[in-house]
């Protein structure tokens, strides 16, 4: 995969400030007193206890609930009092979410609380505690149809996105705000300098992506943590259903009682616009932010767990690639966790890095964060490596081919295409999935076709997203396909299949920033939850074979007819160590990760027309070095291997907190 690096995205205010300092230096007479160097970071000089706490209801310009009045969304604000008294304006850190009353935020599921006058008391997460004393305002927005906001939840559509965009507009003097949900007095954000950074995990991150894709002026940066980039890809993988419900279920889970009563028409549109057959509709087009990556003006600090089986890693991969094509300034952290916030697996480094990021893009400090390595990747629990760019420099798509081996039903994977006529046959078993297939990769089993290299003689890094093109002949009128890449060898990894998805929560707490009785800024410590394994599944792809001939509309299959389909493997970054083997497994239903088809087909895989193209760092020479030793046919005795099975019921809410 070739990624074009964009130009640095430095705030204009930082450029102006640097130019002024340079000019002053040139004009200074010899021997004159030199001005103190410009500060490199914001410091906690303002009172959190005496901060201004208020709610402004912002007019979105929409009437989603059809009551004849423009919807207003609640923007709860905590900001230091001193800058306003001194006539100085400050930037904003915003988290727009549907979860502030229904489900909570963070590892401890914190919700907003208010005093008797309705003023904010507790803000979930640490952003207010840490950043308000440093001269930032923190704004938490209730999406339309949730908590104290009017309107309806439309799950990533115009209402969701406009909920947050309208607040960015208000902060920049382009939208109207009021002191009350209805009526009230007009209020302006005369304390804001307009510079806004959006942050959040999951649905919140998704809204940040969506708002950035509108190109709204004033949004200087976004920090999407495990965010959705296209809502179709949250519910389907190339036509195969990932969950047995649709966006109407999400809306019902988070909407307020008033929205539940008044938003039946919106709910009906969510049902009608999202059929469970995997077809692409206008509803999905509206909720595809990737197609508008060319409008993004904000810098992007993207964070994702490489074992996130809720908001799966295709989301960050396709968003990252689209941003790269349009030269967006960006940074990425990739962990070995599932759907987890970096505050809960790399806390001190996260707070420090986020502080630098916001200081640079919102306050204009020249702290070098935009020149730092682009990528941080977790190689083992709590062990991180950096890269100047991502995917790693020198990465190229390299073909690998499956072939039959010396043992019936146990195939090999190498750089030579299979001869014409070689096939592999498997029957879909919806009760089995990737962990079952990988555990039995060295044995012939009826539900999968497995292919492995020999033990590698050098480490092999795969950085980015790959593909697997297959030609298969089904025995029935419907079929689903799965392809997974597996690292076969002993390792200690985060236990992403457990409840914490790679972390455990301790009883002791530490505090991050200032606090009050109602909002202490203290949070329970966490640690890595690890497991010793014999294999690691590190990339996955799924598809409905009925969408092979028309990706946007499925069709019944003709039994006995061959179909060619390219499965898109999810993005990631993994090193298969020397001595381990690389495996490609092709199967039907991946249990608990995709829903089964209507029938239970037997599928014949034409090996001569099957190719994996993998993102190998170092390209074909690196692959040749890694596979130059033991022949692929030399394999262990076929004993079952131990690995991590996906959660039995991945969350239907893109939250997981």
Question: Which positions are annotated as active-site residues?
Answer: 202, 308, 339
| 638: region left, alpha or beta (phi > 0 left; psi from -120 to 50 alpha) | left
Contact criterion met (CB below 8 Å) for 589 and 237: no
* Phi, then psi, of 163 in degrees rounded to 5: -55, -45
What the block records as the tokens of 334 is: 């990739």
3-state helix, strand, coil in the chain (%, to 5): 20, 30, 45
What the block records as the tokens of 593 is: 């990760």
Torsion angle (degrees, nearest 10) of CA 255, 260, 266, 271: 90
Contact criterion met (CB below 8 Å) for 125 and 512: no
Q: Which helix (H) or strand (E) holds 31?
A: none
What the block records as the tokens of 518 is: 């109602």
Alpha carbons 154 and 248: distance in angstroms, whole number:
8
- CA end-to-end span of the chain: 33
Alpha carbons 127 and 199: distance in angstroms, whole number:
10
For 58, counting Cβ atoms within 10 Å of its Cβ (0-12 exposed, 13-18 middle, 19+ buried), the class is buried
What the block records as the tokens of 44 is: 């906690």
- DSSP readout, 461-491? EEEE--EEEEEEEESSS--EEEEEEEEEEEE
Contact criterion met (CB below 8 Å) for 551 and 280: yes
| Sole residue written with tokens 């555990």 | 439
What b/e sequence results for 224-257 when a residue is b if at least 16 CB atoms lie within 10 Å of its CB, and e otherwise? bbbbbbbbbbbbbbbbbbbbeebbbbbbebbbbe
Alpha carbons 233 and 322: distance in angstroms, whole number:
15
| 194: region left, alpha or beta (phi > 0 left; psi from -120 to 50 alpha) | left
Contact criterion met (CB below 8 Å) for 413 and 441: no
C-alpha separations of 85 from 92, 121, 187, 425 in Å = 17, 22, 17, 75
Q: Cis peptide leading into 538, omega within 30 of 0? A: no
What are residue 488's DSSP bridge partners?
A: 535, 581
Query: C-alpha angle with apex 257: 253 to 262, nearest 5 degrees?
Result: 100
What the block records as the tokens of 239 is: 């036509």
Best CA proximity match to 330, nearest among 358, 356, 353, 301: 301
Torsion angle (degrees, nearest 10) of CA 538, 571, 499, 441: -20
Alpha carbons 519 and 497: distance in angstroms, whole number:
32
Count of positions (residues) in the chain: 657
Alpha carbons 465 and 313: distance in angstroms, whole number:
10
| 597: region left, alpha or beta (phi > 0 left; psi from -120 to 50 alpha) | beta
């Amino acid at each position: 995969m070739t990624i074009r690096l964009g130009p640095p995205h430095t705030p204009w205010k930082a450029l102006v400030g640097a130019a002024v300092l340079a000019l002053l230096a040139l004009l200074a007479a010899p021997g004159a007193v030199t001005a103190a160097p410009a500060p490199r970071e914001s410091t906690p000089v303002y009172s959190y206890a005496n901060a201004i706490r208020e709610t402004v209801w912002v007019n979105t310009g929409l009437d989603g609930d059809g009551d004849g009045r423009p919807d207003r969304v609640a923007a709860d604000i905590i900001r230091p009092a001193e800058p306003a008294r001194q006539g100085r304006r400050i930037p904003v850190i915003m988290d727009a979410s549907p979860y502030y009353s229904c489900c909570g935020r963070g590892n401890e599921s914190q919700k907003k609380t208010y005093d008797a006058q309705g003023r904010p008391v507790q803000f979930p997460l640490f952003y207010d505690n840490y950043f308000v004393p440093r001269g930032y305002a923190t704004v938490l927005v209730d999406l339309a149809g949730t908590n104290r906001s009017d309107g309806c939840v439309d799950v990533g559509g115009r209402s969701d996105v406009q909920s947050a965009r309208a607040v960015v507009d208000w902060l920049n003097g382009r939208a109207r705000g009021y002191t009350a949900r209805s009526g009230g007095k007009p209020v302006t954000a005369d304390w804001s300098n307009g510079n806004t950074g959006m942050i959040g995990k999951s649905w919140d991150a998704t809204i940040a992506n969506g708002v950035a894709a509108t190109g709204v002026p004033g949004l200087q940066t976004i920090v999407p943590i495990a965010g959705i980039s296209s809502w179709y890809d949250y519910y389907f993988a190339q036509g195969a259903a990932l969950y047995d419900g649709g966006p109407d279920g999400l809306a019902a889970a988070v909407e307020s009682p008033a929205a539940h009563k008044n938003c039946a028409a919106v709910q009906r549109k969510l049902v009608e616009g999202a059929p469970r057959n995997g077809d692409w509709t206008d509803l999905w087009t509206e909720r595809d932010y990737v197609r508008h990556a060319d409008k993004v003006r904000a810098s992007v600090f993207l964070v994702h767990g490489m074992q996130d089986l809720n908001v799966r890693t295709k989301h960050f991969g396709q968003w990252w690639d689209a941003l790269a094509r349009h030269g967006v300034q960006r940074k990425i952290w990739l962990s070995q966790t599932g759907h987890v916030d970096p505050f809960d697996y790399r806390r001190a480094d996260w707070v420090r890095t986020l502080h630098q990021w916001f200081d640079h893009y919102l306050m204009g400090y020249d702290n070098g964060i935009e020149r730092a390595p682009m990528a941080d990747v977790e190689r083992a629990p709590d062990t991180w490596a950096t890269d100047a760019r991502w995917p790693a420099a020198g990465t190229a798509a390299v073909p690998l081919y499956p072939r039959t081996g010396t043992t019936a039903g146990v195939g090999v994977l190498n750089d030579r295409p299979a001869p014409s006529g070689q096939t592999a046959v498997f029957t879909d078993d919806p009760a089995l999935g990737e962990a079952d297939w990988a555990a039995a990769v060295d044995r012939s089993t009826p539900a999968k076709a497995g292919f492995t290299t020999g033990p590698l003689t050098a480490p092999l890094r795969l950085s980015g997203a790959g593909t697997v093109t297959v030609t298969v002949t089904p025995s029935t009128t419907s079929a689903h396909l799965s392809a997974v890449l597996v690292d076969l060898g002993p390792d200690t990894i985060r236990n992403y299949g457990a409840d914490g998805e790679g972390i455990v929560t301790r009883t002791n707490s530490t505090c991050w920033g200032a606090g009050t009785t109602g909002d202490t800024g203290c949070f329970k410590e966490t640690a890595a939850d690890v497991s010793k394994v014999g294999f690691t599944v590190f990339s996955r792809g799924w598809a409905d074979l009925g969408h092979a001939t028309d990706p946007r509309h499925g069709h019944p299959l003709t039994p006995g007819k061959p179909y060619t389909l390219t499965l898109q493997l999810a993005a990631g970054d993994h090193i298969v160590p020397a001595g381990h083997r690389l495996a490609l497994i092709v199967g039907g239903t991946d249990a608990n990760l995709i829903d089964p088809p209507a029938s239970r087909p037997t599928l014949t895989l034409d090996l001569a027309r099957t190719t994996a193209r993998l993102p190998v760092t170092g390209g074909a020479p690196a692959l040749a070095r890694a596979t130059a030793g033991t022949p692929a046919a030399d394999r262990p005795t076929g004993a079952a291997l131990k690995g991590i099975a996906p959660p039995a019921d991945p969350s239907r809410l893109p939250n997981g907190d």
